[in-house]
Amino acid sequence: MLIAGNWKMFKGPAATRAFAERFAPPAGVDVVVAPPFVSLAAAVEAGLTAYAQNVHWATEGAFTGEISAPMLLELGVAGAIVGHSERRQWFGETDATVARRAEAALAAGLHVIACVGELEAEREAGETEAVLRRQVSVLPPGERLVVAYEPVWAIGTGRTATPALAQEAHAFVKSLLDRPVLYGGSVKPENAAELLAQPDVDGALVGGASLEPASFAAICAAAAAVA
């Protein structure tokens, strides 16, 4: 069971160190945090398992604002998120670039959480499986690859897919690619246990609830209880 905290554009180095001082994950669950790039070193130094929120496919070059896998490895970073819906929505990420980022990161030795998920309009139009099939089909196979199913309509909205909907989507993703699948989309201490108890839910990609040590620890404890 893997629980990953995506901090998005929150917590500089000082706040990251303060979080680490107050956070005590339970045994029996793998826990990672994905802070902003400027806080990765602080997270590693504080003893947290750190993932980057993005990674470029090139090892170096004229790519202003990007970070390469070798740079992350030099910091002691263990993995990276690729293809988050916010990257797709705001920064032009495509299935093709997600695939390139994932392939380069895996080849370099990083773990990868590759995000997939449908928009609300796509779900209402009955296109969920077609969208997931398209997004998953480009992902490279690899033992360090984990998929995160994040229904876009549930991210940062407070809305959560029902456990039954989450289970259905996870089972479909696993029918396409035999890798663990995390659920992401307004995961909170109040709903974590029921979501994580689903047979094809292998963990969670947590957003806002991962910013507070107590709420994140509660989600990790729920995962440990069903692991």
Local confidence pLDDT in tens for the 227 residues of the chain = 999 999 999 999 999 999 999 999 999 999 999 999 999 999 999 999 999 999 999 999 999 999 999 999 999 999 999 999 999 999 999 999 999 999 999 999 999 999 999 988 898 898 999 999 999 999 998 999 999 999 987 766 666 678 999 999 999 999 999 999 999 988 999 999 999 999 999 999 999 999 999 999 999 999 999 87
Topology of the domain covering 2-226? TIM Barrel (3.20.20)
Catalytic residue among 93, 103, 150, 170: 150
DSSP for residue 27: T
pLDDT score for 153 = 75
Q: Assess whether 84 carries a catalytic annotation.
A: yes
Write the CB contacts of 28 (distance below 8 Å, at least 6 apart in sequence): 1, 224, 227
Q: Which of 56, 84, 111, 170 is catalytic?
A: 84
The domain limits of the chain are 2-226
Phi, psi of 10 (to 5 degrees): -130, 150
Place of tokens 């970070």: 67
Supply φ then ψ for residue 54, to 5 degrees: -170, 165
21 is catalytic: no
Cα–Cα distance for residue pair 173/137, rounded to 1 Å: 10
User: Helices (DSSP H) in 177-212: which residue ranges?
Assistant: 189-196
